[in-house]
C-alpha cells in the first residue's frame, strides 16, 4: 500500500513539474513574441476604441436595437470567433512594424509606439477582444474598459498622444481636453497598403495648424485670405490639434536618421492641403520650420479634390477637418479620420442646432 502511495505522490509531483514547465514555457514565449509595452513617459501612446480596431457594426446594431444585456450575451456567446478588422486595424499593424524596426536599431529603447485599447465596453466583452487581438497577433497589452462610462477622463492618465474613435462626441471631448483625436471612417473600397512603411497624411489648417486662416476665408473671402497670408508670411501659424502627433512621429523618425536610415525610414508623413503653393504655401512651410518639424512630402492642391492624390499616396490614416474631403477620400479607398476642430466644425454644429434644436 505504501508503495502505491509513493507512486501516486511521485506522479503528482511529476505533474506539478510538468505544469510548471508548461507555464514557464508559455510566459517565456510571451516575452519573446510580445514584448511588454514601453513606459508611458517615453512612448508614443495611441489609444484606439474597440470599434475602430475591429468591425463591430453587427454587434453595435444588437446594442442599439436589443439593448445592453443582449449585446453582452452575444459577445460572450461568440467570444471564440475573432472580430473582423476595422478602420484602425492596418494603422495599428503599421505601428507594430515601426516598433520592430526600432528594436532592431535600439534593443533597449523605450521610445516606441504603445497601443492602448480604450473602450466603454463592459469587462465581459473583454474576452472576445483579447481573443481577437491574439488571433491577429497584435501587440496590445494595455486595456481600459469603462463599463458604459466615457473613457475620455483616462486619456491623460495614459499620456495619450492620439485617440481614435468612432464616436464623434467623445473625439470632440478629447480635443477640448487638449488631446489629439479623430473620428475614424471605413473606406468604401479597399486599397492595398504598405506592410513595411507607416504612411500618415495630414490636412493643414484646423489639423496641423490653427483655424485662423479658415476664419478669414469664411468671414472675408479668398482675396483677403491671400493678402493676409502674404502680409504675415514670416509669422508662424498657431498650432492645431494634431501638431503634437506629427511632432511625436518626427521624434521617432529622427531615431532612424541617426542610424543613417533616412532613405529606409519606416515612417513617412504627408501634408496635403487645399492651399495654393504660390499664394499661401510659404507660410505653412515656414511654420513647420519654426517648430523644428518637417514632412516628407507637401502637396498643395489649390482647391482641387484630394481623393485622387490620396489614392496614390495610400496612407494608413488621413486626417482632415472637412467632411467634404473625408467623403471624397473614403469613396476612393482612403482610411480617413475627421478632426472636429475650428470654425468649420462650429458652422456645422450651428446648422445642426438650427435643424434639430439640440445643442
204 by Cβ neighbours in 10 Å (0-12 / 13-18 / 19+) ranks as buried
Look-up of cell digits 490636412: 203
SS3 260: coil
Question: Catalytic one among 203, 205, 320, 321?
Answer: 203
Q: Shortest CA distance to 295 belongs to which of 334, 264, 258, 267?
A: 267
Q: For residue 203, indicate whether it is catalytic.
A: yes
For residues 102 and 252, the answer to whether their CB atoms sit within 8 Å is yes
Q: Shortest CA distance to 162 belongs to which of 184, 141, 191, 193?
A: 184
SS3 203: coil
> What's the CA gap between 316 and 95, in Å, rounded?
10
Instruction: Quickly list H helices, 106-146.
Output: 126-135
CB-facing half-sphere around the CA of 242: CA atoms within 13 A:
34
Q: What is the dihedral of CA 73, 74, 76, 79, to 10 degrees?
A: 180
> Cβ contacts of residue 227 below 8 Å, gap of 6+?
none
First-to-last alpha carbon distance for the chain, in angstroms, is 82
Q: Shortest CA distance to 330 belongs to which of 209, 191, 123, 206?
A: 191
Instruction: Kindly list the catalytic residues.
Output: 203
Amino acid at each position: 500500500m505504501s508503495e502505491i502511495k509513493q507512486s501516486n505522490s511521485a506522479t503528482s509531483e511529476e505533474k506539478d513539474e510538468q505544469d510548471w514547465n508548461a507555464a514557464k514555457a508559455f510566459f517565456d514565449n510571451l516575452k519573446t513574441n510580445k514584448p511588454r509595452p514601453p513606459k508611458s513617459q517615453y512612448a508614443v501612446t495611441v489609444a484606439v476604441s474597440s470599434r475602430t480596431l475591429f468591425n463591430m457594426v453587427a454587434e453595435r446594431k444588437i446594442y442599439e436595437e436589443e439593448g445592453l444585456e443582449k449585446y453582452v450575451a452575444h459577445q460572450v456567446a461568440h467570444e471564440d470567433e475573432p472580430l473582423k478588422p476595422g478602420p484602425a486595424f492596418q494603422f495599428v499593424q503599421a505601428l507594430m512594424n515601426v516598433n520592430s524596426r526600432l528594436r532592431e536599431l535600439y534593443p533597449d529603447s523605450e521610445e516606441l509606439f504603445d497601443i492602448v485599447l480604450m473602450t466603454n465596453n463592459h469587462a465581459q466583452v473583454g474576452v472576445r477582444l483579447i481573443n481577437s487581438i491574439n488571433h491577429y497577433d497584435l501587440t496590445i497589452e494595455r486595456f481600459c474598459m469603462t463599463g458604459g462610462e466615457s473613457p475620455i477622463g483616462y486619456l491623460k492618465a495614459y499620456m495619450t498622444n492620439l485617440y481614435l474613435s468612432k464616436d464623434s462626441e467623445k473625439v470632440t471631448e478629447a480635443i477640448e481636453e487638449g488631446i489629439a483625436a479623430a473620428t475614424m471612417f471605413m473606406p468604401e473600397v479597399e486599397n492595398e497598403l504598405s506592410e513595411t512603411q507607416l504612411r500618415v497624411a495630414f490636412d493643414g489648417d484646423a489639423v496641423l495648424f490653427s483655424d485662423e486662416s479658415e476664419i478669414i476665408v469664411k468671414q472675408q473671402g479668398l482675396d483677403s485670405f491671400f493678402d493676409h497670408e502674404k502680409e504675415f508670411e514670416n509669422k508662424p501659424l498657431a498650432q492645431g490639434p494634431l501638431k503634437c502627433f506629427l511632432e511625436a512621429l518626427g521624434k521617432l523618425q529622427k531615431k532612424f536618421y541617426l542610424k543613417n536610415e533616412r532613405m529606409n525610414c519606416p515612417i513617412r508623413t504627408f501634408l496635403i492641403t487645399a492651399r495654393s503653393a504660390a499664394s499661401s504655401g510659404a507660410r505653412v512651410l515656414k511654420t513647420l520650420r519654426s517648430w523644428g518639424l518637417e514632412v516628407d512630402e507637401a502637396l498643395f492642391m489649390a482647391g482641387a479634390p484630394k481623393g485622387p492624390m490620396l489614392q496614390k499616396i495610400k496612407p494608413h490614416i488621413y486626417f482632415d477637418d472637412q467632411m467634404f474631403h473625408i467623403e471624397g477620400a473614403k469613396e476612393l479607398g482612403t482610411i480617413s479620420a475627421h478632426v472636429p476642430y475650428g470654425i468649420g466644425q462650429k458652422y456645422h454644429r450651428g446648422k445642426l442646432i438650427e435643424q434639430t434644436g439640440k445643442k
